[in-house]
Amino acid sequence: MKSIKEINEKIKKGQVVVVTAEEVIELVEKKGAKNAAQEVDVVTTGTFGPMCSSGAYFNIGHSKPRIKLGGGTCKLNDVPAYAGFAAVDIYLGVTAIPDDDPRNKVFPGEFKYGGGHVINEIVAGQDVRLEATAYGTDCYPRKKLETFINIKDLNEAVLFNIRNCYQNYNVAVNLSDKMIYTYMGALKPNLGNANYCSAGQLSPLLKDPYYKTIGIGTKIFLGGGIGFVAWHGTQHNPGVPRKSNGIPQAPAGTLAVIGDLKQMKPEWLVGTSMLGYGVSLTVGIGVPIPVLDEEIIKYAAAGDEEIYTQVVDYSANYPQCVPGSLGEVNYAQLKSGKIIVQGKAVATGNLSSYSKARQIAEELKSWIKKGDFVLTEAVAPLPGPESGYTFKLLKERPIV
């Protein structure tokens, strides 16, 4: 048994032992969980995939004379930002697109530029064009504002993502006889390909399946800088079926995360375009797992072949909310490049970069080893499987 306090002492003294979520698998296999738990203090995880419920808020500073964007409109490089706050606070969501984007009018739409790309450019230190309108008040008389803004001049620039880091995700296939374009990528007809989106054995919540260490207040690698777990993410759904190793067999837990955009890096927040679907942001996240006991390292040592997920038809079942799986596969099978669905060998593609996830886990490891990153105690746990917390469909009620 170790405490986070003891691990932090070791970090400060430069004596901490850190391994990545990949390295821990072999270590536990070789030395056993008991010995490995004594030897290792921290396991670092990583993931780098498109995460649509992301965005950033900004305080742009007051203009002279003053303007109240609240209740008005605001665009950043033509992409609409939410202005329903006080005078100069705005929030830009990553899926927002310019009003004149053709969308899916010519199908499949290309979705070349949107909120995700704007955030990438802001983080990269590029000037961004702000155009705003307001209705004008006695205290905020101005009605129009057009200016370049730059991250270095903003009072606050904060990445605040309300759902990231899905604990497991579906494998998407297409049973229909025509090509479909989804948030899981282009899916060729008649089981032409199978797309998945997870770092598997490197993915944060898959390595702490019962949220024993990851909770509200956990300090993390976020977009190349430092962030925190702010809450459980939207659609958090811990009660899905799990294997005997505790790992959910379908999309389950999620995280809401927050961090100072000013110290993040553009290579870890990349604007993303999904053909026929829309714009998103590919976000890099790494979560450290403190090895407090043998049980925690056992969970962290689960390999790709022990992590299972469901194959789902995105031509009819997913859009129509018809439950059902075409089969269960593990991440070792997915990574082999082929899985068998309905007796057919189907080529697989990942939307989530495994090599970048590995790079994040390595980078977080080096921060901890150098003493630059100490761990935090969670201030409150995330709802677990026993909480009864669940994810409901909308019950529509007609408006008469």
Partner 1 sequence: MVSKRIVLHFPQRLVNQPIVYKLVKEYDLQFNILKAYVTPQEEGLMVLELSGKKENFDKGIEYLESSGVKIQPLSQDVIRNEAKCTDCGVCVPICPTGALVVDPHTRKVHFYDNKCIACELCVKICPTRAMEVHF
- Binding partner 1 (rule: CB under 8 A), the pick from 86, 217, 337, 370 is 337
- Residue 236 sits in the site that holds partner 1 (CB under 8 A): no
- Residue 282 sits in the site that holds partner 1 (CB under 8 A): yes
Peptide bond into 248 cis (omega under 30): no
Scanning 2-10, 226-234, 239-247, 342-350 for contacts with partner 1 by CB under 8 A, the matching segment is 342-350
Position 191, amino acid? L
139 is catalytic: yes
Question: In the complex with partner 1, which residue's Cβ is closer, 149 or 179?
Answer: 179
Owner of token pair 């961090």? 259
- Nearest approach in angstroms of CB 304 to partner 1 is 11
- Indicate the helix (H) or strand (E) that contains 121: helix 115-123
Question: What distance lies between CA 349 and its chain's CA centroid?
Answer: 18
> Hey, is 235 helix, strand or coil?
coil
Phi, psi angle pair for 119, to nearest 5°: -60, -40
The closest alpha carbon to 117, from 164, 56, 160, 166, belongs to 56
Question: In the complex with partner 1, which residue's Cβ is closer, 33 or 351?
Answer: 351
Chain residues 70-99 in contact with partner 1, contact rule CB under 8 A: none
Strand segments (E) across 18-116: 18-20, 42-44, 47-50, 55-59, 73-76, 79-81, 89-93
| 280 CB burial (10 A radius; 0-12, 13-18, 19+) | buried
Q: How far apart, in whole angstroms, are the C-alpha atoms of residue 44 and residue 7?
A: 14
- Nearest approach in angstroms of CB 130 to partner 1 is 25
- Nearest approach in angstroms of CB 270 to partner 1 is 6
In Å, the largest CA–CA distance within the chain is 72
- Nearest approach in angstroms of CB 123 to partner 1 is 15
- Nearest approach in angstroms of CB 341 to partner 1 is 13
Position 62, amino acid? H
- Nearest approach in angstroms of CB 318 to partner 1 is 17
**Residues 23, 27, 33, 36, Cα dihedral to 10°:** -90
Chain residues 15-74 in contact with partner 1, contact rule CB under 8 A: 48-50
Question: What distance lies between CA 331 and its chain's CA centroid?
Answer: 19
Scanning 37-45, 149-157, 206-214, 268-276 for contacts with partner 1 by CB under 8 A, the matching segment is 268-276
How many residues appear in the chain?
A: 400
Chain residues 155-184 in contact with partner 1, contact rule CB under 8 A: none
The closest alpha carbon to 309, from 212, 205, 189, 172, belongs to 172
Question: In the complex with partner 1, which residue's Cβ is closer, 110 or 293?
Answer: 110
Question: In the complex with partner 1, which residue's Cβ is closer, 169 or 210?
Answer: 169
Number of residues that bind partner 1 (CB under 8 A): 35
Question: In the complex with partner 1, which residue's Cβ is closer, 70 or 192?
Answer: 192
- Nearest approach in angstroms of CB 185 to partner 1 is 5
Question: In the complex with partner 1, which residue's Cβ is closer, 54 or 282?
Answer: 282
**One-character DSSP codes across 265-295:** -GGGEEEEEETTTEEEEEEEEE-EEE--SHH
Q: Identify the active-site residue in 52, 139, 165, 321.
A: 139
- Residue 351 sits in the site that holds partner 1 (CB under 8 A): yes
How far CA 23 is from CA of 41, 65, 303, in Å, comes to 13, 58, 10
- Binding partner 1 (rule: CB under 8 A), the pick from 352, 365, 373, 382 is 352
- Nearest approach in angstroms of CB 203 to partner 1 is 14
Sketch the per residue contact string, 192 through 231, with partner 1: x for CB under 8 A, - otherwise.
xxxx------------------------------------
- Binding partner 1 (rule: CB under 8 A), the pick from 270, 285, 301, 374 is 270
Chain residues 110-139 in contact with partner 1, contact rule CB under 8 A: 110, 112
Question: In the complex with partner 1, which residue's Cβ is closer, 49 or 227?
Answer: 49
The closest alpha carbon to 268, from 148, 159, 391, 179, belongs to 159
Position 114, amino acid? G
| Token pair listed for 82 | 């939410």
**Active site residue ranges:** 139
Binding interface with partner 1 (CB under 8 A): 48-50, 108, 110, 112, 185-186, 188, 192-195, 270-275, 280, 282, 335, 337, 346-356, 358
